[in-house]
Amino acid sequence: MIFCALLAGCDKNPTVIDDSPSAPAPVATAPLPEMLSGYHFQSADTQALQDDQFANPGMLWVDRGEELWTTAPQTGKPACAGCHNDAATDMAGVAAHFPKYNKSLDTVVNLEGQINHCRVEHQQSSPLVYESDDLLALSAYVGYQSNGLPIEVAIDGPAAPAFAAGQAYFYTRRGQLNLACNHCHEDNVGRMLRGDKLSQGQAGGYPAYRLEWQSIGSLHRRLRFCNVGVRAEPFAFGATQYIELELYLKWRAQGLPVETPAVRR
């Protein structure tokens, strides 16, 4: 097995599934001495593509999001701009704090969940389908307003249980290959796997345009891909398990800049 040949400590029998956590890192400190964005692990050409707003293909979704931001729904309720005015001002820094606890819903939501909550609660519209172009466009547009600002999420108070669950997920082996997230994104950072350089698995660039997708996609799309990679059953888009993991990943990236829309291989 290519995973077993690469990753130290992998069980010889990849069909054995051990769902116990594998040495979780202390909550109080970052698990790695230096946190590096996925940008650091890309080729110079891919980095240049992300840096150029005119060449970055993810900007097509940002532009679409701007249109949606100012378009009122058919329910007669205000457009997003009707409540939040100029996104460049009112939305600056917002994406850097998601996922976060939503008091009205009494749960932790990510940016996509908050957008849909606003649609239902304030626009009396149906929620957008997860991974639809419109939801990706709106989340990319809102995320873009925080581009370059440091990620900072709250993990205390009512968000604490979700954070603990997300951390446990990161260090829990799963799938037929019996691997946890940390086996790639901590233990083997910088090593090559099928032509890819393993990154730290930071999540500050999503929605991101991936060259292999030829499209923009959410973090949950990437998490599902990772589940399939270790031969584990993926959860649904927007699943609680992915929201919890997303909160842990954003905490893990504290201080790194938002890069929406990032470009990745």
State how far the alpha carbon of 150 is from the alpha carbons of 2, 99, 127, 183, 263, in Å.
Answer: 36, 14, 29, 26, 18
Active-site residue, 226 included:
yes
Contact by Cβ (8 Å): 223, 84 = no
The DSSP code sequence of 108-175 is EE-HHHHHHHHHHHHS--PPPPTT-HHHHHHHHHHHHTTBTSBP----SGGGHHHHHHHHHHHTB-BT
Pairing status of strand 208-210 against strand 263-264: parallel
What residue type is 31 in one-letter code? P
Q: In whole angstroms, what is the distance from residue 146 CA to residue 126 CA? A: 26
Q: In whole angstroms, what is the distance from residue 120 CA to residue 122 CA? A: 6
Number of CB atoms found within 10 A of residue 136's CB: 25
Select which of 80, 181, 184, 226 is catalytic: 226
Name the one residue in this structure whose structure tokens are 């949606």: 68
What positions carry a catalytic annotation? Answer: 226
